[in-house]
Chains A and B, each alone.
Chain A
Amino acid sequence: MASDNNLVSVEANLKPEDFRKVGIDERQAEVIQRESLSAWRDAWQRLRQNKLAMTALGILGLIILSAIFMPFISKYNYYSNDLMNTNKPPSSDHWFGTDDLGRDIFVRTWYGARISLLVGLAAAAIDLIIGVIYGGIMGYFGGRVDNIMNKFSEILYSIPYLLVVILLLVVMEPSLGTIILALTITGWINMSWIVRGEIMQLKNREFVLASRSMGAGSKRLLFRHLLPNAVGPIIVTITLSVPNAIFAEAFLSFLGLGVQAPISSLGSMINDSLTGWLYYPWRFLFPAVLVSLIMLSFNIFGDGLRDALDPKLKK
């Protein structure tokens, strides 16, 4: 605000006709500017030029659409058994073969992808929101606020996760919501630490100090300068949050605490087929390939997004 007043007082000594418009608003001088495009549209333009990232995005879109619609086009459902046709290899009847209860793996894989994506995306979104806000506040304000908030997250992080999950599953109805809750209860902490670390590192940088000395407020500093500059690590972390949540669900399945059967998730399908993967490779292969494809796409897309968003990588 102080600088604004200065400008006004300088202006007061001169007549308007002494000036010619040059098209630059000086009050915007401390704002990062290149073109009049918003940062996001700018990023999108650059992202579009990254073929690999766009391919990944395309594959992701395809997988999501398949996960939504594929289960409807098959004549089978994900839960009906056929004990006369257990562990059958892929055929024209069962495109992906059948599992140990004679259930159609094609339908179960896509249904499982639906569940896994739902769990992964929901958990990642919650992690992102809580983690960025919490980590941003910790890193920015520092001092006592940081200390207390950091302690809280550390304690939460060290409480045995399994105890919390078991208690949650006992107290609440075993459902997808409970699983997502169980995954996010400590899932956001890692994100908050990454953000905190970045912000702590950034806030003493020259451009932040400059902006601050020119009177930018906390909110502005945090959201216009600090977080956009921390976006690289945030994106890297979030692209890992989705696979992490999907794997965490698989780990719960490994311990028998995952989604309730007969509902399938990719993790639980892989887990169920793991002991016999040599003999019934199709039971293992389809969900494993799909899960890897999802992970791969998320990561490649995340990399592309990171490059596109990072203001310092502009050429």
Chain B
Amino acid sequence: MKKSKSLLLMIALVLVIGTVLAGCGGNNNNANSGNNASPTNAAATDNAGTNTGTAGEETLAADQTLRINLSAEPPTFDPAQAQDSQANTVLKTMYEGLTRMNDETGQAEPGIAESWEISADGLVYTFKLRDAVWSNGDPVEAVDFVNAWKRVLDPNTDPTAPYAYQLYYLKNAEEYYTKKVADFNEVGVKAVDAKTLEVTLKAPTPYFLGLLSFYTYYPVHKSVEGNAKWATSKDTMITNGAFTLTEWTTGQSLQVTKNDKYWDAASIKLSKIDFSLVNSGATELLSYKNGELDRAGAPTGDLPSDQLPIIEKELPNEFNRKGIASVYYYEFNVTEKPFSNAKIRKALAMSINRQALIDNVTLGGQLPAFGFVPPGIAGADGEYRTAIKDSYFTEDVEAAKKLLAEGLAEEGLDKLPTFELSYNTSENHKKIALAIADMWKQNLGVDVQTVNQEWAVFIDNRQNLNYQVARAGWTADYNDPMTFLDMWVTGGGNNDTGYANPEYDKLINDAKVSSDLAARQEMFAKAEQMAIGDDMILMPIYYYTNNSLTKEYLKGITLDFSGAIDLTRGYLLEH
């Protein structure tokens, strides 16, 4: 009974992925779905018009203050220094890049750029900027982008931008950072005139327009020059987005207020957003139920996982679940015995019951993963995961036992020695590790020692290959399978498995320079088959979901494919 119900839920979820989550943002969904073909000014106005239209039928609440929780305080509001999703949530309300993501269609829409042209080889983008102004009234000009990007790429910025490499798509950007090129004029960004920006790429990048909506690409006001501390105080923060920072007390509260000078201020209905900074899921849930928050849960906060099934039943109209482009997995240290043996790795991957784990332990309606690229990531035509099924292996205890026996024989072992499964401190990671260790024990008879490590210690150990099996998770940086698959190239910065396969490297390198979308997709499929199907360098467990609660009177909040939230177009109905 319970099983079939959750199966139904799964199917429903698959259908929902990539579209909108049920309650929030559902209202203006249909109206927007048609206008993504040619990004023009008209489309954007249309969008704004639709919003107003929808709202017209309902009565807006007099007090348009949105109250929401951030489970971690963003360490900085300097777009060049930001590195985390919480900063992303707040920066998105304060800044606007050349493009804006339309979360419902997954397409980039005009932001500060009102239109653009792309050269035939896919290398040169020419953006026409609209008449937007900064919160102090200065016009937003092409040179603001050039200066902002120069700040990111300049190793002498105080401190240097940790995400500088997010701009390495530009021609000569990496060379400039590493001082192989001294003159910034040789880097692929140029202000042709006040309202025209020309960007030249190193290689054709199909997802570049989407990248431009990312915070590292935001413009900054010229006043930041020479003031390293500008982003630490609301008084020196001049922004160009829908809201401006009006209050920030470390650890206590954060508040942004509507920016009347924002070019699209007409479609902004919220007057204020109050962020509380609570990092306890139980407290957040109680605050929400008590009416102190208008929205709770992922991605800004957290709901206690063991209460998800209850909340779902108690508050069916407020509960939302949305699949996001992230994957939870266990990686193997393939450089050391016994996990240097692919058969042993496969045996472990095949001998757990993912659905049982999701139904009874994680409880968030996640999707069992048998591949590495999650649903929601764009492919050549539609979603990658729809075109390429993740059927690289199946759960089969008998076959797993056989594989294990073969693997052990190859290694000259009678029995798999007790091994360590490490995870970083977290209630959920602990539960999953214990459940999987127990499944291995019951299904394969292997003994596992679960090891809890403090976060930085854990990361340090994992990056130095000082582990046997370790938990990991990966979220998309941009909407392309590349963000998942280029991790596993030999010596790759995030390749913590020690995997080194020249054939795999070649596939990824070819995909990087290819502009043929269908051919790229083929290469990705082959690479994924290699890493998961053939070598099982990691054991996929599930694709993440975002579980959240939204009051019924709160509308217009959207989430993108990766689960990032856009609060700017939200509004509150009378309640």
Contacts and interface: CB of A to CB of B under 8 A. Distances in A.
Q: Do A and B touch each other in the complex, judged by CB within 8 A?
A: yes
Given A87-B306, A256-B425, A276-B304, A81 B438 contact: yes
Contact of A256 (B356, B357, B426, B450): B426
Interface string A16-45: 000000000000000000000000000000
Given A86-B360, A87-B306, A256-B426, A275 B454 contact: no
Interface stretch (B383-391, B428-436, B478-486): B428-436
Interface stretch (A166-174, A188-196, A202-210, A219-227): A166-174
A12 interface: no
A135 B435 CA distance: 48
* Interface bin, chain A: 20 to 34
Given A100-B361, A276-B307, A279-B307, A81 B434 contact: yes
B452 A170 contact: no
Contact of B435 (A83, A166, A256, A275): A83
Contacts of B457: 166, 170
A122 interface: no
Interface string B431-459: 10111001000000000001110100100
A279 B282 CA distance: 12
A275 B281 contact: yes
B454 A257 contact: yes
B338 to A, nearest CB: 22
B310 interface: yes
* Interface bin, chain B: 20 to 34
B427 interface: yes
B438 to A, nearest CB: 4
Contact of B430 (A81, A83, A169, A261): A261
A170 B460 CA distance: 12
Interface string A236-258: 00000000000000000001110
A274 interface: yes
A310 interface: no
A275 B302 CA distance: 12
A143 interface: no
A101 interface: yes
Contacts, number: 64
A80 B442 CA distance: 9
A260 interface: yes
A86 B308 CA distance: 14
A83 B307 contact: no
Contact of B452 (A81, A102, A260): A260
Given A83-B360, A170-B457, A279 B435 contact: no
A262 B448 CA distance: 11
Contacts of B282: 274-275
Contacts of A275: 281-282, 304, 306-307, 427
Contacts of B434: 79, 81, 101, 261-262
B450 A261 contact: yes
Contacts of B359: 83
B451 A174 contact: yes
Given A86-B360, A275-B281, A275-B282, A166 B304 contact: no
Interface string A54-80: 000000000000000000000000011
A262 B431 CA distance: 9
A87 B451 CA distance: 24
A166 B454 contact: yes
B62 to A, nearest CB: 34
Given A101-B431, A261-B434, A276-B307, A174 B281 contact: no
Interface in B359-392: 359-361
The majority secondary structure among interface residues of chain B is helix
Nearest to B311: A279
A255 B457 CA distance: 14
A141 interface: no
Nearest to A283: B306
A87 B360 CA distance: 9
Interface in B285-310: 304, 306-307, 310
Nearest to A81: B438
Contacts of A170: 454, 457
A157 interface: no
A100 B431 contact: yes
Contacts of B431: 100-101
A159 B425 CA distance: 23
Nearest to B356: A83
Contacts of B454: 166, 169-170, 256-257
A101 B307 contact: no
Contacts of B451: 174, 260
Nearest to B359: A83
A280 B452 contact: no
A101 B435 contact: yes
A171 to B, nearest CB: 11
A280 B306 contact: yes
Interface in A137-171: 166, 169-170
Interface in B391-445: 425-427, 430-431, 433-435, 438
Given A83-B360, A101-B435, A275-B282, A260 B307 contact: no
Q: Which of A100, A166, A255 has most B Cβ within 10 Å?
A: A100
B360 A174 contact: no
Given A100-B431, A256-B425, A279 B310 contact: yes
A254 B430 CA distance: 13
A174 B304 contact: no
A272 interface: yes
B425 A262 contact: no
Contacts of A272: 427
Contact of A262 (B360, B427, B450): B450
B427 A83 contact: no
B306 A256 contact: no
A172 to B, nearest CB: 13
Contacts of B452: 174, 256, 260-261
Contacts of A102: 360
Contacts of A255: 425
A102 B307 CA distance: 16
Contacts of A80: 438
Contacts of B361: 83, 86, 100-101
A276 B306 contact: yes
A279 B306 CA distance: 9
Nearest to B426: A256
A253 to B, nearest CB: 10
Nearest to A259: B452
Contacts of B425: 255-257
Contacts of A86: 360-361
A135 B360 CA distance: 53
Contacts of B307: 275-276, 279
Interface of B: 281-282, 304, 306-307, 310, 356-357, 359-361, 425-427, 430-431, 433-435, 438, 450-452, 454, 457
22 contacts: A79-B434, A83-B357, A83-B361, A83-B435, A84-B360, A86-B360, A100-B306, A100-B431, A101-B435, A101-B438, A256-B425, A256-B426, A256-B452, A257-B454, A260-B451, A261-B434, A261-B450, A272-B427, A274-B282, A275-B427, A276-B304, A279-B307
Given A87-B306, A101-B361, A256-B426, 13 more contacts: A80-B438, A83-B359, A83-B360, A83-B435, A100-B306, A166-B454, A170-B454, A260-B451, A260-B452, A262-B450, A275-B304, A275-B306, A276-B306
- Nearest 3 A/B pairs, CB to CB: A256-B425, A275-B304, A81-B438
